[in-house]
Amino acid sequence: FASLSMSFCHFSICVLLFFSIVLFHTVGFASLTAKGKTKPYIPARPLITGLHLAMSADSADIIMRRIALRKNILTVDSLKLIESDSVRIFGEPAYLQVQILRNKVRTIVINFHPLSGDHYINTCNTLTQYLERAFGRGVMTQDASVTYRRWENEDGTMEVSYSDKYTRVFVRLGKQ
């Protein structure tokens, strides 16, 4: 008789445990989950040597460590600048500056070193094709020997400006 009462006690504990789990799941978890709140989908932003806008500061620092021979970090108030003049982008040497605000990459500035002949033409063409693939045709203006191109998303979140003059190419991703 003692073993029967012991097994009944185990059975009743299991039943109570089961019902408490079911009750907690239907009442407790339902109140803890956010109803109908999902994060909006943000399309992938174009990568420049692994860097893109809105990536975390830690990730940007790791990538800069990997791609730059040397770099300088400057922190001013809430803005952090990571700069390097020893980066290769599209196979060409360039100066790269990453501006970080609130632990997110806000702006990427690329200034190619003076390029000669085919290097200049190929870099301009490659960059134009790459940015047009990501943003469309954009707006192009010309002022004497300088060509300006601008792209902006419909919601105004990202702006790309690109200018070239003689052998210099300058790219800026991010709002001013």
Residue 45's pLDDT band (cuts 50, 70, 90): low
pLDDT at 139 over 90: no
User: Mean of the pLDDT values across residues 49-56?
Assistant: 86
94-98 LR contacts (CB < 8 Å, sep 24+): 96/49, 96/51, 96/64, 96/68, 98/51, 98/60, 98/64
User: Mean of the pLDDT values across residues 68-82?
Assistant: 91
User: Mean of the pLDDT values across residues 123-142?
Assistant: 81
Distance (Å, rounded) from C-alpha 57 to C-alpha 82?
10
Across 59-63, 161-165, 169-173, least confident range: 169-173
Residue 171's pLDDT band (cuts 50, 70, 90): confident
Distance (Å, rounded) from C-alpha 155 to C-alpha 88?
31
| 91-123 pLDDT per residue, tens | 888 889 999 999 988 888 888 887 777 888 888
More confident residue, 169 or 138: 138
Identify whether the C-beta of residue 16 lies closer than 8 Å to the C-beta of residue 9: no
Identify whether the C-beta of residue 163 lies closer than 8 Å to the C-beta of residue 128: no
pTM of the model: 0.67
Residue 8: predicted pLDDT: 63
Residue 28: predicted pLDDT: 47
Residue 62's pLDDT band (cuts 50, 70, 90): very high
Residue 82's pLDDT band (cuts 50, 70, 90): very high
